[in-house]
Structure 1
Amino acid sequence: MFKKKPQIKPAAPLRSSDRRKIADSIIHDYQLTISQPDEPTPEQKAEATAAHTGLRNSLLPDNVQSARFTTTHGPQLKQVSGTVYIGHPPNEDSRILWWQIEGALYPSVYTLWRHPDMVPLLHTPSIVIKKLQGGADLMTPGLAGGPPFPARAKKGSVVAIASTENPSVPVAVGVCEIDVSALQQVQGQKGHAVENLHWCGDELWSFSPSERPGKPMPEELEGWVRGLEDRGLVDKAEDLKLDDEADEGGVSLNGDEGQAHAINGHTNGVTEPSGDQEPNDAEEAREMSQKDIDSAFRSAFLYGVHHHKTTQSSSPTFGLVFPLSQSFVMSNLIQPFLPTFTPLQKEQLQIKKTSWKNIKKFIKALDKEKLLKSKEKDGHETVILDIDFRDKAIAEFKPYRLPKKESASGKSDKPTNGDDTGDDSIRQKLQVVTSYRPTSKLSPLFASTTKQLLTPPEVREIMTAYIESENLVHTTNKRLVNLNPLLGNSVFDGSGNLDKEVLAKGSVPRDALVDRILHSMNTSYAILRNGASITDAGIKTKSGTPPKVTIVLETRSGNKTMTKVSGLEAYHINARPLADELRKVCAGSTSVEPLAGAAKKNEKEVLEVMVQGPQKDAVLKALEKRGVQSRWVEIVDKTKGKKR
């Protein structure tokens, strides 16, 4: 639900009565009521009341704020709206703790990390967790650690999902679509088990009023460990293997979230080891028949087409730019997908050892099967003009396991990831830090500090100290601040209706005052990488707001679409390695040119990457690998005449 960034309106403080009412609703719905004797003594009643109040404050802190949001959900991209509740426990950042849609309240992973055993905890292998973090639903064969499963995991109940590698740390939140607790087995079962609504790594997890990145997943949570020990799952989780997964792979992706991926041991006529197991001597010495070799090449071609369909599902012709040359077909659609686990298999799986003997005859054979259309070009080459993506062999193709190949330099040659270890921006951790500097008009309010750059929490702390030192807290409502001449003159100039109303009342809500002060201050930013601090030597801040990486789609030469990417330098990304990766992933030409008018004289040039075709999704995926979050990217679609 939150794979794409929701539209969240400005947050407002939640009234105490509403906060208590919502907290009591959570306690009731999630059966968190604290038990007490049938005939409690006055002391026991007092203890129960204090415990209930503490539980309320833990679920919804007294600083909680609410905000309306809209997003899309499901394969039909149905627009839904609801409310998020933002708050922070002591000494922690503000995060979304709960969200509400259609009257139902759901906890975020941050809430689950602090409240063990609030909901039933289900488990699945780590490879399925990666699919869940892409928006997949959990399929019944993907369930691990049972039966038996938690008794509370009934149809319609809210559940958490954890990896078998970190069984005590919930990483996803969903709703059971079946009665999981009643399952007697999962192998051979089909269908959805849990609808995935929120996961560690989505936009709800990454949201922060202070624009800080999402909190990393903890290694272990003691409270959840105790719950697992009570169920006898701690030792059992360590013994779970990937073999527990069934043919459906335990995940299902629908609509805008992608397509279903199968995870199985399908070999397509080639014997291969399972997992990372090394092949034994018998397998290595096995001679492949010509039928095996032909089958392997045909399956590799189908895998190559399937790879483009699943990774570039929104692009026309799935990112393939026709006509396809013989060399392109061999290097991009066949060779990367051959199951060459052993040196002997690598030696045998060559086009000259097939019954076709060369790639030209291989393409013609596929043409006869009506998998594609081909044409002779220049009398010596056969090119592919079109591929029937709806053909049964392609539509029902199931991926098989590919070997992990390591080059002499130690970098992976696997074709599907596109990683280039020569690019140090891959897997970098980025953090955009916005700082605030008081203007000359506001400087008297900040006389107690010598710091030039302040964070929002520091501004709030300084203002709280100022308000208390000047005795400006309202006598009947502590959330209101009485205005003194300094606040009235420096913060509210009386130009707008709101200013006039505040000045007439002589008081203002504390949060509104702090927000107004923040908006009146000068801002500067720094984009930090790999744990760097703004106080480190060599780190310089720049005035203004952080720039965004810009992706522009535009039409050229009639109906040809180009994708242009700029603004990479601010995020420590080298344009040329990125262009090389996109050329391979998108199977199209790329170029890197200086962006006209972007750099002033004597400044370092700003580069722009151009990719052939509408490759927005591929670019976003490449940027994500380099630590760039979607909220730092601006997409301009000139092919439709609109800006998003």
Structure 2
Amino acid sequence: MFKKKPNIKPLSPLKSSDRRRTADQIIADFGLQVPVDSSAEAEDKAASAAPLTALRKSLLPENSQSARFTTTAGPDLKQVSGTIYAGSHEGTGDEQRILWVKVEDKMYPTVYTLWHNPGIVPLLHTPQFVVEKLQGGADLMTPGLQRGPPFPAKATKGAVVAIASLEAPTVPMAVGTCEIDVASLQEVRGAKGHAVQTFHWSGDELWAWGPSGKPGLEPPDHLEGWADDKAGDADLAAPMDRLDLEGGHDGGVALDSVPTDRPDGEEVAAEASRSKNDLVEEVEEPELTTKEIDEAFTNAFLYGVKHHMDHNKDHPTYGLDFPLTQSQVMSLLVQPFLPTYTPARTASLQLKKTSWKNAKKFIKHLDKEKIIKSKERGGSEVVILDIDFNDEHIKSFVPYRLPKKESATTTGVKSDSASSAAGEDIGQKLQIVSLWRPKEKLAFVFNASNADPRGYYTLKELRQLLSAYAEKENLVSPKNKRMIKINPQLADALLTSSAADDRALAAGEIPIDALAERMQAASSPFHAILRNEATIADAKPKAGLPPKIHIVLETRSGNKTVTKVSGLEAFYVSPQPLADELRKTCAGSTSVERLQGSSPKNPVMEVMVQGPQKDAVVRALGKRGVEPRWIEVVDKTKGKKKG
């Protein structure tokens, strides 16, 4: 929920009476047991009240402050407001951190409160690699639940729970709400659906908040008080961290065929062995060779051309407007048509892993094969001037299965059958640029190259700056140029206490690619959506990951279906002209209204069309430069999420 930084008003001190009343309400809501001092005499009221006072201070320290906040959540950007409670626990020396969040009438503890108050909420477990996905904002799916059944008795539907990894079972890393009665589950293997809706996690904007701007505190290695009585999980977690995630679960995280039974003694070893032999080998396929990756990209291009020929037969150039830039070639003719592999092998399908390394050389290769005619432009880019649609490579190409149906939709090309009601967005060209802004602890990397430590950088630029820093500090391994020696600054800024980082520290070196990934994770995501000839210099990057246009199919008035479209403004699409065009192409009524929950000052408009018109909407957006991968489709008429 807090991937985006909330708008927090100035903090104000919490009155003693308000603090006690709020703490007592927390104790009541979470059913906490107040310790009893058996040595205190009944007449000694101060001694009898001491345990309650101590519990109150532990939950809400005496220095606690509160403030109102607002943020947005969900695909509809619903406005959410509430109260945060910040403070620091006595004797820790830490600066103030957000300890509790109140939304509507519900209180949620943050990880800082959980680290100081063991057992105040039920603790659920899942493997570390699933926790990492939760820290990206995903929800926990039912098959991802581990160390049960039985599960904690208080983990009922609507209950606030904490989530820890099997590798660090006593350290809560996320907080959420049970969407089902987890306590009553008898079996999770083969189950489907959400188990926990994630609210907050270690690494989000609540965790990162602090009055001085310092980054959030790293989690401890072990905590006393949280139950850790199930032996063997650490051993079983080792093979699990290599399993792939199961897709198609509404953005949540699940496990694929992970055993949930927990036998004892010799059966634990047998189960762990079965996990390694039967499960890990099943998904651990070797990476694609360079030759196979080259063939995949060439075939994707041929597929893209063939697809445009089949779907734009009446257009003289089959719906393609020449010249085609490198970015257009990759986004229109290559990326949507890359072949399907297992998730592990799909990660190999990157242009940098081809023999050409970049789009410019790839296009020149196609020119050399006489499939296309290209020309250099500006010395740094190659454009396609023409495609030989009669080339034998294209004519004899046999299509293959694609990852998603929407991947093969013709998008982003200008159509000569534009609606008379179309606006200026028809035929526009859009580009989404993902940027990262480094946090303060990475300043030393940028200072080495005299770069702005608070600037915005692409992933490629981050890696280049990291390489420059390594060369300047003589950290590049003489035996292997891809390995970087770890100095204290890099260790403090980018490495954690995970097993992989511990091995890297022991070796004294780490691959530069792995270090670049940690550098990305230690930076805040931003994005810019560029229109037509605009460059990144013309745009003001916005915080967070790039948005998506949302298409929702719903049933109304019994069995009537409507299609709703929102999030158009960020992509420079005018809602009213789009509605006018859809009214004609779909032969049904349309309307444009402000999306419920959006700000009246900066409203998000919603276009509604009669009938199940997803495909028509996608085609209309394609004429406006919107690619299918920027669209999220939710079909509520079937209870499934697509796209």
TM-score in terms of structure 2 length: 0.48
| Largest Rg, 1 or 2 | 1
TM-score in terms of structure 1 length: 0.48
